[in-house]
Structure 1
Amino acid sequence: MSGLSAGTERAGGGKTSSAAGRIAQNGVFERFARGGFVMTGIVHLIVGYIAIRIALGGSGGNADQSGAMAELVSKPGGVIVMWIGVFAFLLMGLWRIAEAVFGSASKPEADNKKKEAFHRVKAFSLAVIYFSFALSAFGFARGSGKSSSQQSAGITGRLMQNTAGKVALVVAGLIIIGIGGYHVYKGISRKFLKDLDGNTGDLVRRLGMAGYLAKGLAVAAIGLLVILAVGHAEPGKAAGLDGALKTLGAQPYGVILLVVAGLGIITYGLYSFVMARYARM
């Protein structure tokens, strides 16, 4: 963890970054937190596989987080893997909370308040995502998992019952599109390399670029569908990643587009394994 030590020193001995460093350097904590990247990779691999399967006319399923988890627990040993995922996602969320509260030990921004604020907000947002993954994984591990696409449509339907809810949905859709755009920018500009500790080869750079580009476009599509759902008063359109991919598959040349999207999501899953090994913590 030389990168972490260097990051703590660059912080000028600041209490917040050193506190984050002590948390992340706990051996058990770090291993399970890195396991969150592994589980994220597995989920993306399965989502990409489901998308390609749908495109080629195979059996259905939800091409999203819940569909991937349902697919996983149906396999031998899948429930055990899911329980491991619960703890991995939970500790990854706690690590991100530590970054949000104490600041990043590996990427301190003590001399730039705007960047520091951005990184803290980003860390908190990622913590919320990982906690939601942990909650979803907990449900599937217990045998009571629910479809995230149906939940998204249900929440959208309730919010669309009044003007304030519709405004909130449009704002949320724009934010989601912005997040997708940031992923695309991060991939094209290779900014993701700053998240890694150590030398990276051409394969890692290509995986990162393709993975972030595919993930960004998929996320942006989700935001667009949320806005379209409000405009057409059809909450069913806001069905998350599953809805975005299936809408893509319904377009002209949809089979090709869905296969390409599936391969892109698989690429992001492979890059998540790189993050499990090289991510700065």
Structure 2
Amino acid sequence: MGGTTGRAAGAAGRAGDSDSLEHLARVGLVAYGVVHLVLAWLAVQLAWGGGDDDPADQSGAFAQLAEQPLGRPLLWLLAVGLMALAAWQAAEVLRWRGRLSSSGEARKQAVEKTGKAVAKAVLYAVLAVLAVRAATGGGGSGGGQQQVGGVFGWPGGRWLVGLVGLAVVGVGAYLVHKGLSRRFLEEIDLRDASARTTRLVTRLGQAGFPAKGVALGVVGGLLVHAAVTFDPARAGGLDGALRTVLEAPFGQVLLTLVAVGIAAFGAYCLVRARYPERT
């Protein structure tokens, strides 16, 4: 049994390191960057009064792309790239699975890497599905309020929404810390990059990760508030979070700064596609 597990993990590792999957993953990173650039544009439109049609979230970004010339073929290309990213992260899960039985720091690292890989694989797969739906004219994701309202009907659903909200707040705080502490540089092999490129990647990450973290933190806060008040209308996903920022004092300026940060994260993903994962 152990030999079978080892061979599976070895095969997963070779799959994760294969040139074809790596090239597709680069396409996926470009796709992920493009999605964030469109999100930033939607946030700017929302801030200055021109974003009432499409929601300022991932489904709105894909809807915007679908309306452009050659938009639907581009969406299919993005979907393929995002699914490649999901497969890449799934291979990471299998690669680290064999180390979960270790002890001490080795096990801690394996648990952390596995958890991150699972979360990223799910995220990229969901985005790929949204891209396919937009490419085939399937519309948006159905709205955060309707989805939260449905969960409230489950046994213990209110607690589940609250816990998910707290988890999203935690992810947002982690992204802010990751950006400010420059921990994202630990994931990229920049040894062959020029000093100018290294500075560019650093500045983009320092702006992009905190901005994305703030947006996610507001999303999580809205979910927690919806759970406390038992009111699904309080939950609105990313679109609701950005609209909440807009309603704050100096909301236009704050939302514009968030949009700039999200654009920086998108640009970071584009540059990130050029460099391999640090091992």
TM-score scaled by length of structure 1: 0.88
Bigger mean CA deviation after superposition, 218-227 or 111-120: 111-120
Q: Tell me which amino acid in the other structure corresponds to 1:192.
A: F
The alpha-carbon distance between structure 1 residues 26 and 163, as it changes in their structure 2 partners (threshold 3 A), is: closer
SS of the residue corresponding to residue 29 of structure 2 reads helix
Q: Tell whether the 8 Å contact from 1:16 to 1:103 is kept in structure 2 after alignment.
A: no
| 2:156 corresponds to which of 156, 164, 168 | 164
1:128 pairs, out of 122, 125, 142, with 122
Change (3 A) 1:159 1:94: same
| Identity in percent | 36
Q: Describe how 1:2-21 pairs up with structure 2 within 5 A.
A: 18-21=10-13
CA distance in 2, matches of 1:223, 1:187: 19
Check conservation: 2:13, 2:91, Cα contact below 8 A.
no
Structure 1 residues 125 and 248: CA distance shift in structure 2, 3 A? same
Q: Deviation at 1:181?
A: 0.9
Residue equivalent to 1:246: 243
Name the counterpart of 1:83.
Answer: 76
In 1, the alpha carbon distance for the partners of 2:239 and 2:144 equals 10
Can you give the 5+ residue segments of structure 1 that lack an aligned partner in the other structure?
A: 1-13
Measure how far apart 1:249 and its partner are: 0.3
Secondary structure in structure 2 of the residue aligned to 1:278: coil
How much has 1:42 moved relative to structure 2? Answer: 0.5
CA–CA distance in structure 1, aligned partners of residues 163 and 129 of structure 2: 25
Kindly state the Cα deviation for residue 269 of structure 1 after the two structures are TM-superposed.
Answer: 0.4
Q: Is 2:94 the counterpart of 1:97?
A: no
- Give the Å deviation of 1:170: 0.7
Return the offset for 1:160: 1.9
Q: TM-score, normalised by structure 2?
A: 0.88
Letter in 2 for 1:86: A
Is 1:268 the counterpart of 2:271? The answer is no
Of residues 208, 222, 226, the one that matches 1:211 is: 208
Alignment partner of 2:156: what SS? helix
1:228-276 deviation digits (Å, cap 9, x = unpaired) = 1122232122111110001110111111111111111111100011221
1:195-248 deviations in Å (ceiling 9; x for gaps): 101235211111111111111111111100001112223212211111000111
CA–CA separation in structure 2 for the residues paired with 1:98 and 1:145: 31
Q: Distance in 1 between matches of 2:208 and 2:173?
A: 13
Which residue identity is paired with 1:241? L
Instruction: Kindly provide the amino acid, as one letter, of the partner of residue 145 in structure 2.
Output: A
- Structure 1 residue runs of 4+, over 3 Å off? 14-21
CA distance in 1, matches of 2:206, 2:276: 16
Asked if 2 retains the 8 angstrom alpha-carbon contact of 1:20 and 1:103, the reply is no
Q: Conserved in 2, the CA contact under 8 Å of 1:153 and 1:236?
A: yes
Counterpart for residue 8 of structure 1: none
User: Where does structure 2 lack aligned partners over 5 or more consecutive residues?
Assistant: 1-5
User: 2: CA distance between counterparts of 1:153 and 1:275?
Assistant: 34
In 2, the alpha carbon distance for the partners of 1:235 and 1:76 equals 37
Deviations 1:139-183 (A, max 9, x none): 11111121x3x4321121022235600001111111111111111
Give the counterpart of 2:22 among 9, 23, 30.
30
Whether 2:66 is the aligned partner of 1:69: answer no
TM-superposition CA deviations, 1:71-110 (whole Å, max 9, x none): 0010001101100111111111011011112229xxxx99
What residue in structure 2 maps to residue 224 of structure 1? 221
Q: Does 1:41 align with 2:26?
A: no
User: 2:48 is matched with which residue?
Assistant: 56
1:4-50 residue CA offsets vs partner (Å, 9 max, x unmatched): xxxxxxxxxx8677534411332222111111111111010011111
**Equivalents in 2 of 1:24, 1:112: separation in Å?**
20
Kept after mapping to 1: 8 A contact 2:148/2:161:
yes
Aligned to 1:82, the other structure's residue is in SS state: helix
